[in-house]
Structure formats: structure tokens, C-alpha cells
Amino acid sequence: MEEIINELKIRKLLDGNPDLQITFTSDAFGSMPQDRILLQRVREELNGKCFKWLAQIDLASLNDESFLELINSVGDVKLIIGVESPFRDGLSLEKKGIMGINPIDIFEKIKKFSNIKIRLLLMLGFDFEPADAFEQMLSFIQHIQPDGVYISILTPFPGTKINEQLETQKRIFERDWMYYDTRHLVFERWFKRNENQYGVMKRDEFMAGFKLLIKESESEIKKWSRFNIESKVL
């Protein structure tokens, strides 16, 4: 721990320079006890000086209000939060351990802390999404009111579980790696009509809906984002 603090001092990152920002590279900062100890030590060293930092953090860690208070007390922070999908029941079938965590409730807690800025990570293209997924995702963003959003498209990279599933179902129609950038649909997109039936959305229809969602989300975020640079939807 002291080695990290000494390194920050050597790099003059604890001197209060407003032009510098430190990034914690863990993809789940806050999930380990030492992360909290580190923030406490940084706060002691800063003694009220300016400190800008960025970290990616999971929802479970943010469910702890005492941790939010600690984060808020350590300079100005941008938190990258991967919610993935507002359709939690469906997502829970893909990822274990997320049930019982309501993102909207957590973001309501975060709004009370003025030094915490949020960039939300969302993804579209799951089979469990309803036909009106674009509209519901926009509504979700309006409820959350993040300072910025990155919306990606589910992409079946080789070696992943989703790639294996879609290959088995013969749904991948694009093999040009140029389009494997999370910004293009490369497989036949299904959506859930009801408990036992799926519909198919054409590629052009999906991409039109995706682009409209980006545009409308950006327009909405500008209404409440505290920082113009963060209001861009990517």
C-alpha cells in the first residue's frame, strides 16, 4: 500500500494539480478491502487538495453507502459502471449474482454525492430483450440520469460463449472483422415476444433503432449532465 502512495508522490499526483487524472485499472475497483484502504490513505495525503481519478466499479460495491461516502471524500471521481442491460431478469440467466441489486435504487443513492460523476455502460442485442428494447433503454437512462453513456452492441467474439451459441444456431451472417467493433450487428437478432416465442429483427431495422437511441440519449443527457464533455453518448 505504501509503495503505491510513494509512487503517486513521485509522479506528483498528490500535489493537487487539476490538469492530472489518475486511472485505477482494476475492472472491479472497490470489490477488495485494499481498494478502500488505498482511498483512505490517498485522502489523508491529499488533505483537501484537488485530486481527479477514474475507476471502473461494479454495482454491488456501490450498494454500500459508506463506500460511496468514502469515494465522494476523495477529490473528483468519474466512475465507469457496467450495468449491461436494464432487463435484469433476462440478464440474471446469463450472469449469476445480480438479482436483488436494483440499478435505479443505487443510482438514486449516488445522486446525493456531488463529487461523483457517472459514465454508464450498456449493451443491446440480447435474446431476452423485448421488441421495444430501444424505448425501454431510453427510459432507463432517463431514470438513472448518468453524466455519460456508452452503448454497445453484443458482439460474438471467437472463443466466447455467445459465439458458440450463435454459431450452433447458424445466426452469424457477418465474417468481416472490420464490423466486430461493438458498433455493428453481425448476427441475426432475436427478441422475446413472450415466454415461449421469439421474433426476428432485421439488421437495418436494428441499426436504425440503435442510432436513434444514441441520438435521443445524448439529447436527454445534456439536460442534466454537469459536464459537457461527459454528455456525449458513445
Q: What does the alpha-carbon distance between residue 121 and residue 181 come to, in Å, rounded to a whole number?
A: 15
Report the number of secondary-structure helices (H) and strands (E) in the chain: 9, 7
- Count of Cβ atoms closer than 10 Å to residue 85 Cβ: 25
CA distance 75 to 63: 20
- Concatenating the DSSP letter of every residue in 203-216 gives HHHHHHHHHHHHHH
| Predicted pLDDT at 76 | 93
What is residue 232's predicted lDDT score, i.e. its pLDDT? 57
| Average pLDDT for runs of 10 along the chain of length 234 | 88 90 88 93 93 92 93 95 89 68 89 92 95 96 93 96 96 96 97 92 97 94 73 57
Spans of all domains in the chain = 58-153+202-230
Burial class from Cβ neighbours inside 10 Å (0-12, 13-18, 19+) for residue 137 reads buried
Contact assessment for residue 150 and residue 177, using Cβ atoms and an 8 Å cutoff? no
Q: What CATH number does the domain located at 58-153+202-230 have?
A: 3.80.30.20
Count how many residues are written for the chain: 234
